[in-house]
Structure 1
Amino acid sequence: MGIAERYRRRAEAFERKVAGVGPDQWANQSPCARWTARDVVEHVVAMHALILPPVARKLEPADDPLTAFQEARAAIEDVLDDPVAALTETDTPAGRLTTEQHVDQVVSDDLVLHGWDLARATGQDELMDPLDIERLWAGAVAIPPELMTKYRTPGAFGEGIEVYGAEVPVPADAPLQDRLLGLLGREP
């Protein structure tokens, strides 16, 4: 599966979760200590917005979380459909990447993990796609220990940015989704 197709599949699943949040659930606590359900969506939209400036695009503010995500999704899909924009290189915390690589490694992966966060916060289906679990697991266990330490250090990538929380112990025979969540600092 290519980057654009993977992003679209994950964005569709995330959008369904955003659409499934009840009006009285936006203030629900998420698994991320300082975030509500609304904050999770706002973070995802903000991360989408960070990808756009190097390709001369930006997001306009939206009135509600669903519209905000739909507009962010449309902007990223536009970039992925434009060969020049998709292959434009930029410096990122992970090194020099093309825009499509940056989308794949940051916002696309975020859709899976934060989709779980949103589902947990609002009582929706928490099951992740097995292909996504395997892909995220392989990426997470390949992170060198010194970089994982940096990912777990609040503010290491900028004020208020915390990539992963402290690892949560999970039995070795637990389902892979639970082991992934624990590794990335969530209580499965």
Structure 2
Amino acid sequence: MSDVLYHYQRVSEGFGSRLLALKPGQLSLPTPCSDWDVRNLVVHVIDTHWRVASMPEREADPAGDLMSQWSDATAAVQTALADPETSATLVGGMFGERSFASLVDSLLSADTLFHTWDLARATSQGEELDKEAVTRALAYLTPLDEAIRRPGGFGPKIDSAPGADIQTRFLNFGGRAV
């Protein structure tokens, strides 16, 4: 198993476990992403996975079984990562061409981590993220700082308190107040 596939599986399992733990009525709760309730946040994450899997024609059905749709989307990404040819295929992105594996390892994993925390916070679930994945995501995102702060990207970052742990620094970087 490739390092990227292993890393992605850990990140996607974090989101999936929180999605699986949703209780009736929680889909309409507000999230730290002010434009989205829980349902819209989950739909965004699923749709992002389909776009990255080069299947933009696939979209989440907000009224459908979100857990099943999440499973299908993550399976598509994992299948692509497991295929050496697909994994190495160059794909376009907001920062130019890169391999599919690189796109998953960087932007998709970081986006999923942020939204895992958003989902956990909105639904009063455990907010601890995979420390290795957070460290990896922050290392990738930090040099891109101002380039990712635009509409449809990241909002303003929050200055972290001195001595803040890696997860707090990551979340603050993504504009989340912890």
After TM superposition, the score normalised by the length of structure 2 is 0.89
Question: 4+ residue stretches of structure 1 with deviation over 4 A?
Answer: none
Q: Could you say which residue in structure 2 is the equivalent of 1:101? A: 102
Q: Displacement of 1:59 after TM fit?
A: 3.4
Q: Could you say which residue in structure 2 is the equivalent of 1:124? A: 125
| SS of alignment partner, residue 17 of structure 2 | helix
Instruction: Compute the RMSD of aligned alpha carbons.
Output: 1.9
* Distance verdict in 2 for CA 1:57–1:113, change over 3 Å: closer
CA contact (8 A) 1:112 1:128 kept: yes
Distance in 2, Cα, partners of 1:127 & 1:93? 28
CA contact (8 A) 1:59 1:71 kept: no
1:149 and 2:132 aligned: no
From 141, 161, 170, give the equivalent of 1:171.
Answer: 161
Distance in 2, Cα, partners of 1:116 & 1:88? 30
- 1:56-95 equivalences under 5 Å are 59=58, 61-62=60-61, 63-95=64-96
Q: Could you say which residue in structure 2 is the equivalent of 1:182? A: 172
Where structure 1 has 5 or more consecutive residues not aligned to the other structure, the ranges are: 155-160
Distance in 2, Cα, partners of 1:31 & 1:112? 13
Q: Displacement of 1:140 after TM fit?
A: 2.7
CA contact (8 A) 2:88 2:101 kept: yes
Identity rate, percent: 29
After TM superposition, the score normalised by the length of structure 1 is 0.85
| SS of alignment partner, residue 150 of structure 2 | coil
Work out the number of aligned pairs and report it.
175
CA contact (8 A) 2:47 2:59 kept: no
Distance in 2, Cα, partners of 1:182 & 1:60? 29
Where structure 2 has 5 or more consecutive residues not aligned to the other structure, the ranges are: none
* Distance verdict in 2 for CA 1:184–1:83, change over 3 Å: same
Q: Could you say which residue in structure 2 is the equivalent of 1:31? A: 32
